[in-house]
Structure 1
Amino acid sequence: MTLSNTVYEKLRADIIDGLFAPHQPLRLEQLKQQYGVGFSPLREALNRLQGERLVVSALQRGFRVSSLSVEEMWDAVNSRIFVEGEALRRSIGLGDDDWEAALVASFHALSIIVKRLGQADREIDKDSFDELERRHREFHAALISACGSAWLLDFAEKLNTETERYRVMALRSATLRHERDVEAEHKAILEATLRRDADAASGLLRDHYHATGQFLERVLRDRVARAS
């Protein structure tokens, strides 16, 4: 991995984790000291993050962290529903036995950590939280991995990055034990997919993301209310 890739991965993770606040300026000199790299790899990393809409730049003002808003969140969620719904339909039509096996394995890995953390009496530590998020990403990626379209997969990955930033913010500022049974939602999507019922699977995926959007909106509005 090149130096610019390394700093890109670290900076990207720190933005998603909320270590940099929305609108916060990203000063090159400060980042140079923080990540121990030169200006050239930093600029490359920031330009890549701008392409992912995690940072924005203004003439003569440099880079800053992108804002968080209810409107942008819903735009990302609804776009994800559109893109991944089509990708899931295609995967159901094209996926083979290996795809099914990988999908079941990814769901099982996610279920294991959900049960483990649900039984824990302590607050979830960062490593466990990061592992939960990684397995969650892998399950959703596995659902659409057989769609046969590099463009759909690329769009889905970018939209996942955008919504992940909201999810991490929300889940770290609210209890994980809310009214939804997310594991049951994942299981229902999996079962419909394995039955090769594209209408049911895409509908359940839509409902799953819409419920997540509603949860994120509540957290965002509550955050604004507390700050005012």
Structure 2
Amino acid sequence: MSGEAARRSPTADRILRAAAELISLRGYSATSTREIAAAVGVEQPALYKHFSSKKEILAALVRLALERPVAVADELAAVRAPAVVKLHRWLQEAYEYVNRSPNVLAAIIITPELQQNDAFAAEQALVSKIEPVIVDLIRAGQDEGDVRELNPVSAARLIEAMFDAVTFPDLAVDPAEIVEFTLVALLADPARLPEIRSAADALEISAEPAHPPR
């Protein structure tokens, strides 16, 4: 668990949960800290004991959504295993993590301010780490002969778009099904999927998931 997650109080978790739900429904600009506090059942000054501003709440949501997938990618980079096996495990970890608290990522996806406002530079940097992780694994898989010929950047962006399927309730797709669908589309020999799945499940990942607010 990340240090930040370990330090969060139950009230802070409730604030993040309420903020994620409101922002995913109304948008960042249309959501006020007063509304977030009311949804949690606390006065607005009590909210500021945990987060100094709405910007800080959104920044915390970005870290909550992305620090775990980035940490898993960093750990897998040091693991001796075929790239396609590491890609399978990373997708599995990332999709399952996001699926546990879908409103968190939904709030980020629909917030253009994250990319348009320099005040979110640190959060932009964290978001920008995801695509290269996928691109590098796809390219390595191609070099190893396991991934078919395709544009790695285009494939990575399609994979990122698949996060919508576990983020928005109306789409509601099982994360495991998304991983299977993705790997079948990428593999030079889709018949190897069971073998790759077993190898991915066997990888030891020590990075513990932060607990997203439910």
Question: TM-score, with normalisation over the residues of structure 1?
Answer: 0.31
Question: TM-score, with normalisation over the residues of structure 2?
Answer: 0.32
Structure richer in strand, relative to its length: 1
